[in-house]
Amino acid sequence: MTNRFFEAPILNSPYEYPGRLWELDENGQPTQKVIESRRRAEFITPIPKPKKQKGKAKQAEIVFDEGEGLSTQEQQYAHTAILNGVREHVDKWRRLPNPNDWHVTPETARLLQHWRHHRCLFDEGCVIISPDLRFVVSRRVREEFENGREYYRLDGKLFDLSDLCDYHPSAELVCWHNDERFE
């Protein structure tokens, strides 16, 4: 029997709101069911279930006190409560349609309005960087964007990254983006 969870664990695009998740049972094991929701922040390490398991002992949380006796189980920091709180606030903000309700500077409001409604051409798969670091433009730019001619002028141009030797994109990620996003 195949385990789809371990074969393809990533369900969501890195460019969109994470709206799907693999259901996990009470022991953190994948049920092979996909749920249309966002997972709450938790520290989970899904490990394939052992073939033989004696008893139902549950692993205790690790207390990080470097053996000094300074921390106890009751003093553990609740990281996930903070993460989930931030997510809730961001989700509430996303639902506010009126920029006057965002409580940000006018400059920030203009920037946020732009990015709420205009996705990056790279994110949309309309342009890519080839493995030899050339700018490549999709036919979609001509069909879907008024300013497509500006981008076609750049088609095939080599990126000069000589001054940015520490910032070369990973060849593996470039190939993934080109295979998964470019149209």
Average pLDDT value for residue range 22-47:
83
For the chain, what are the domain ranges?
1-47, 82-117, 127-180
Q: Answer whether residue 160 shows pLDDT above 60.
A: yes
The percent of residues in the chain predicted with pLDDT above 70, rounded, is 66
Q: Answer whether residue 32 shows pLDDT above 70.
A: yes
- Highest-scoring range by mean pLDDT, 37-41, 42-46, 123-127, 136-140: 37-41
Q: Answer whether residue 36 shows pLDDT above 90.
A: yes
Q: What is the pTM of this model?
A: 0.46
In the chain, the N- to C-terminal Cα span, in Å, equals 34
Here the tokens at position 30 are 């994948």
Rounded CA-CA distance 53/56 in Å is 8
Q: Which residue has the higher pLDDT, 26 or 169?
A: 26
In this structure, the number of other CB atoms found within 10 A of the CB of residue 135 comes to 16
The percent of residues in the chain predicted with pLDDT above 90, rounded, is 5
Average pLDDT value for residue range 133-152:
75
Return the beta strands (E) in 37-90 as ranges: none
pLDDT of the residue at 4: 85
Rounded CA-CA distance 152/136 in Å is 8
pLDDT of the residue at 3: 80
Per residue in 103-114, pLDDT (tens digit) is: 888 888 887 777
Under the banding of pLDDT at 50, 70 and 90, the label for residue 95 is confident
